[in-house]
Amino acid sequence: MIMVSPLSHRLRRFRSEDEGSVTIEMLLILPVVLWAFLATFVFFDAFSSRTAAERAAYTISDSIGRQQNTALTPDDLDSYNRIFSYLARNQPNTRLRVSSIIWNPIDEEYNVVWSYATNDGTPLTTETLTPELIARLPVLERADGQQSRESVFLTETSVGFVPVLESLPLVGLVLRPQVLNKLIVSRPRFSPQLRFDDGTGVIGTTFPTCDDPGVICGTQDPDLDDGI
């Protein structure tokens, strides 16, 4: 007890002590305050960049969907990509891919009518339509299985993002350089299908139907009807 009593007395005195040095306390807390301020700015910039990229993508998609009397050309879509870059806070590394898609009642699958990708990107094809993409497409088939005479178009955008102050401690563990992607499914506003002129001719003017000469769809196959 004789040894414990002085120790307890010192602990109680330390606990009740309210004197200190403002300079030392400032040196201890200032780095934390500065880090919190800079981290707030970094994360705000990240969310702002993502929001700007998404708004730009919706703006481009809406503008493309209003195409009426003329067919889109590669130059048109390259210009749209430059506009997207400007709207996405002047980001230089942007890409745009636009694809027109219809439902093919003959093969009973979605078909890519045409697709164009800027900056040497890879166009979308019927073969490269992934299940994830198909799951996001609306139903274009009529109840009787025929072509609905409607189409949709995909607007896919991507923009590179590098966080400011990436070297700030702990920030690099959460935010890293990445590509901000956005996919938008839309319907043409004033026409059944967007047309595209790739320089060899206009694409996107017809719809396949089961009424086409020589076409057999689904159970209309006579072999299937005979049970063979």
CA angle in degrees (0–180, nearest 5) for 50-52-55: 110
- Domain extents for the chain? 25-213
How far is the C-alpha of 127 from the C-alpha of 21, rounded, in Å? 71
Give the residue from 73, 76, 75, 96 showing the smallest Cα distance to 84: 96
What pLDDT was estimated at residue 42? 82
Single pTM value for the model: 0.75
Q: Report yes or no: 40 and 174 within 8 Å, Cβ to Cβ.
A: no
**pLDDT values of the chain reduced to their tens digit, one per residue, 228 residues:** 445 567 777 777 767 766 667 787 778 888 888 878 888 888 888 889 899 999 999 999 999 999 988 899 999 999 999 999 999 988 778 999 999 999 888 778 899 999 999 998 999 999 999 999 999 998 876 655 555 678 899 999 999 888 877 667 767 667 788 899 999 999 999 888 999 999 888 887 777 666 555 555 554 444 434 433
How far is the C-alpha of 204 from the C-alpha of 221, rounded, in Å? 28
Q: Rg of the chain over CA atoms, in angstroms?
A: 30
